[in-house]
């Protein structure tokens, strides 16, 4: 039997435990050039400003810039980690409003904006965002998750 290390086991988040105003995060990521090259290989996004400092400088950037879709993936990690194993990410949208650079620490955060029931599941809406090391929000967005409801689980 394969055991999951205890630091990866998250207690289940139940719909009844969530309230408007509740905060998510922070989830911090310091992006390296190596990570950007690996992401380029995985995603097929080989635009040189994401891994070549000279091309980034030619385009007017002070450093190599972080892929927007990678920042979106970080936000998805924040939300799905918060929702737990039986929570489901239903919707995620973000807007790329600012450039983030390699070696900066990006912080993903969120805040619950609405809770409600839809059938046998709880739905939670939230605003989510990425801040750079200067506290500027570069990537605002919204997410919706489905969470289990205790009353719907036998013995719950």
- pLDDT tens for 121-147 read 899 999 999 999 999 999 999 999 999
Q: What is the CATH number of domain 12-152?
A: 3.10.129.10
- CA gap 123, 15 in Å, rounded: 8
Do residues 145 and 113 lie in contact, with contact meaning Cβ atoms separated by under 8 Å?
no
Domain ranges of the chain: 12-152
- CA gap 102, 22 in Å, rounded: 30
State residue 154's pLDDT score: 57
Summarize pLDDT for 49-102 with one digit per residue, the tens: 999 999 999 999 999 999 999 999 999 999 999 999 889 999 999 999 999 999
State residue 119's pLDDT score: 82
The answer, as to whether pTM is greater than 0.85, is yes
State residue 137's pLDDT score: 98
- CA gap 121, 149 in Å, rounded: 6
- 136 sits in which H/E element: none
Q: Which two tokens stand for residue 46?
A: 């080989």
3-state secondary structure 4-71: CCHHHCCCCCCHHHCCCCCEEEEEEEECCHHHHHHHHHHHCCCCHHHCCHHHHHHCCCCCCECCHHHH
User: Bridge-partner residues for 123, per DSSP?
Assistant: 116, 146
Largest CA distance in the chain: 62
Do residues 126 and 79 lie in contact, with contact meaning Cβ atoms separated by under 8 Å?
yes
Confidence check: pLDDT of 31 > 80 = yes
- Residue 100 three-state SS: coil
State residue 152's pLDDT score: 56
């Amino acid at each position: 039997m394969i055991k999951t290390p205890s630091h990866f086991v998250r207690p289940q988040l139940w719909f009844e435990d969530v309230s408007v105003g509740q905060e998510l995060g922070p989830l911090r990521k310091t992006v390296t050039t190596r990570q950007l090259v690996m992401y380029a290989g995985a995603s097929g996004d080989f635009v040189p400003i994401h891994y070549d400092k000279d091309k980034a400088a030619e385009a007017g950037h002070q450093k190599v810039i972080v892929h927007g879709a990678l920042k979106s993936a970080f936000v998805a990690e924040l939300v799905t980690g918060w929702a737990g194993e039986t929570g489901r990410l239903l919707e995620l949208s973000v807007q790329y409003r600012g450039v983030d650079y390699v070696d900066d620490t990006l912080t993903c955060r969120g805040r619950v904006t609405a809770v409600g029931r839809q059938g046998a599941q709880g739905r939670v809406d939230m605003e989510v965002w990425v801040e750079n090391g200067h506290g500027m929000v570069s990537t605002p967005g919204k997410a919706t998750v489905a969470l289990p409801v205790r009353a719907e689980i036998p013995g719950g």
